[in-house]
Chain A
Amino acid sequence: MKALETKSLTKHFGGLAVLQDISMTVEVGERRAIIGPNGAGKTTFFNTISGVIKPNAGEIFVFGDKVTQLPPFRRARLGLARTFQQNNLFVNLSLLDNINLAMPPNQAKMTPRDFLDNWGWWDKSTIPVKEFSYGEQRQVELLLALAQSPRLLLLDEPTAGMSSVETNKITTMIRNLSREITVLIIEHDMDVVFDFADRITVLNYGRVLFEGAKDEVRSDERVKEVYLGSVD
């Protein structure tokens, strides 16, 4: 079964084509990395899938349901969860209140307390999120998305701006996720990408430049030229 399918997804901002004819299929349980230079359209792609932005053309399917015209909250109720590139939290509320808002009523598999306990955060549950360090807030970004009991998870640069220790914490969290959750990740840290992803899609100027397994991406000349070249 397909967790996500896009067909000819196109988005223009005025005369600027940010997404051009993007067709992509992600299987259930897959870990897919979306990489590409700045301005390639990665975050716009996530915003379009999650419903923040309406596409000009094309279709989006989540677990077989057509969601192209659905508002973000309806997509979330189908099991789609996301994190944001810049922390988007309820900073004046406690961690527990944040998690309470994220857990769907009557559907949650566990209580907010059990959830925070499981992830080792219960001790900090009463602290307002604004008092957390940047790295902790990045982790809370992920916790909020996980509290939704997602089936499809979009992670937008989860390790951005973090130290190596904090990056390790986040990658451990992501690596340990159940395969019941399909994960798409936008990430610039190539170590994280090659460690985590099953397949990689490379975007460039709003188009899919290449899609394939990790080794194929590493050896592709076009990808090296536009993105990985600087690494070598």
Chain B
Amino acid sequence: MSDHELRVSKIRDGTVIDHVPGGQALNVLVILDIDGTGGEQVSIGMNVPSDRLGRKDIVKVEGRELSQDEVDVLSLIAPDATINIVRDYEVIDKHRLERPDHVRGVLSCPNRNCITTDEEPVDSKFEVLPDGVRCEYCETIIREKIPDHIGSA
């Protein structure tokens, strides 16, 4: 069995998210709101040697085909990731992420004085800029360490 088959194709039906930067696999699951309670079978490879990235993570979600909208938000932390849709052990679709215009409910605003950090019934919303994200409420711009802000009310 080849290395490729072992790491990418060895699920029957579902989604394989490949070329995630090393160490970001758990953040991928947080963003996709996959915490095990939904019953999905999830396999994770971390810090796998990669020609392109040096080290990469791989996330395999069995029994669930993730839509483009669902995965595009991953571009914030894994801009070079590839999405493989697998059916009956065959990769039937493979595509790159597209950067979304907005992300909702994924990041928390680092501005302690932002209204979204208060006890209000509101999801965080960020506009995606070419080189960062911007809170649509207080307008704070985050350019560095975006994964540190994953996890919103």
Asked if chains A and B come from one complex, the reply is: no
Binding site for A on B (CB under 8 A): none
Show the binding face of A for B, using Cβ within 8 Å.
none
